[in-house]
A and B are shown apart, each in its own frame.
Chain A
Amino acid sequence: MKTKINEFIKLLDNEEKDKAIMYILNLLDSGNDILDIYEYFIIPALADYNCDNDQEEICIWKEHTRTSIVRTILENTYPYLIKAKGNKKINKSVIVACPQEEYHEIGAIIATNYFYLEGFKAKYIGANTPSEEIISAVKILKPDYLALSITNYYNLIQTKKLINTLKASYPNLKIILGGQAIKKYANKSKIQYDLILNSYEDIKKLSGDLS
């Protein structure tokens, strides 16, 4: 596994888009577990990424290039996700979103896929979703859970207000929070929530508790 991971990361470092995509699809076709692909290949590809160039502007577009390759890979895993899920089903719905001004969405998409895999009715409604639109989605879709992903710590401020508003109008809605800013600053920010989840294991446990 270790060599495979290194080979894949090397393709990304060299920005070999086609090869990197085919590398993962081949692994999936030859029967590798989709969760392993997420946990050992896709997530670390971005989460452990450090730009080794000291020119900031170069780092920014390199980060964008890498994100775009990883994103394509992520979208292409979906048919395998459908297969892996089989007919697992629990009777709970979740809306996943990144709040206003939050553009980091790979974590949110992965979380949505994990909810899906665990049998939730899961819907991802987007990055940088204005508060009114999140409120509207909650109003119309009436989900059991709203899961928000926050990476940039400034966005805790806005999200705190959003959650206060939602909790006042929809007391039964359960709020799930995840993402890097939540890991580090949820307590300090005194943001309201019902659950903090960070990983597939966390989501699996929730699904187990529910079924």
Chain B
Amino acid sequence: MDNILELKNIDKIYGVNTKNPYQALSNINLIFKKNSFNSIIGQSGSGKSTLLNIIGTLDSPTKGEVIFNNQDISKYTKDELAIFRNKSIGFIFQFHYLLPEFSAIENVLMPYKISNSKVNQDIINRAHELLEIVGLEKYKNQLANNLSGGQQQRVAIARSLINSPNIVLADEPTGNLDSDSTEAVYNLLREINKNNNTSFIIITHDRKIAEKTDRIIELKDGEVYTDIEK
């Protein structure tokens, strides 16, 4: 099977030129297959978010290469990177970071608006469809502020998919949800993985999610401690 992503010898040192540099990641080597459904687990502070931010090109490694679809993106300029990120990667953050003064559907459309000046009917239809998939078509005009935590989380999922990314990176997507909503979010991600061939890398503390993914990567003190693939 083809790979979507390859991490080669990744180190991350925070505060390199300061008195107290901190090595958050050491020599990470991982290959992710296309259409795969992966989880990253590990204790608080083990480096999960640091790794996901590097994968998502929101941060750069101190050393090592990040290769997406066989292209070394470490060499991209800032602008190239921004375009690439917006098109190819969907993000779901633990604290969903919706724009509170905008409606659900406006939030879903935001990543598209960033890369395309004009919003056309096709993309509006797609946004409706995504809100329907996450079960929120009734709430499409509600302001993000007036949605419940779980509803906001589902809007964030729809938003992560608007540009049909190759890969979705999710940091604790069910962090604040009850177990029913957790199950619903899992089912949703899994369905998208199957139907759209989207790859997923999900950071989670929730065993209910992790045990259902096809691969569990455990980080410990910035290193890969366990890596089991079904």
Contact = CB atoms under 8 A, between A and B. Distances in A.
Interface of A: 101, 152-154, 156-157, 160, 185, 188-190
Interface in B159-210: 207, 210
B226 A154 contact: no
B226 A156 contact: yes
A30 to B, nearest CB: 43
Nearest to B230: A153
B226 A189 contact: yes
Interface in B205-221: 207, 210-211, 216, 218
A154 B216 contact: yes
B41 A157 contact: yes
CB-based closest 9 A-B pairs: A154-B211, A188-B228, A185-B228, A189-B228, A189-B226, A154-B210, A157-B218, A153-B228, A157-B226
B227 interface: yes
Contacts of B226: 156-157, 160, 189-190
A157 B229 contact: no
Interface of B: 41, 207, 210-211, 216, 218, 226-230
Nearest to A156: B228
B216 to A, nearest CB: 6
Choose among B207, B210, B211, B228 the residue with the greatest number of A CB atoms under 10 Å from its CB.
B228
A102 B178 CA distance: 22
Given A157-B41, A157-B218, A188 B227 contact: yes
7 contacts: A152-B211, A153-B216, A153-B230, A154-B207, A154-B210, A154-B211, A157-B216
A128 to B, nearest CB: 13
A20 B71 CA distance: 61
Nearest to A155: B211
B90 to A, nearest CB: 25
Choose among A152, A157, A188, A190 the residue with the greatest number of B CB atoms under 10 Å from its CB.
A157
A101 B218 CA distance: 18
Nearest to B229: A188
A152 to B, nearest CB: 6
Contacts of B211: 152-154
Contacts of B207: 101, 154
A59 to B, nearest CB: 16
Contacts of B218: 157
Contacts of A185: 228
Nearest to A188: B228
Contacts of B210: 154
Given A157-B216, A185-B228, A188-B229, 14 more contacts: A101-B207, A153-B211, A153-B230, A154-B210, A154-B211, A154-B216, A156-B226, A157-B41, A157-B218, A157-B226, A188-B227, A189-B226, A189-B228, A190-B226
Nearest to A191: B226
A101 B208 CA distance: 11
A188 B228 CA distance: 6
A154 B218 CA distance: 11
B184 to A, nearest CB: 15
A50 B96 CA distance: 40
A188 B216 CA distance: 11
Nearest to B210: A154
A154 to B, nearest CB: 4
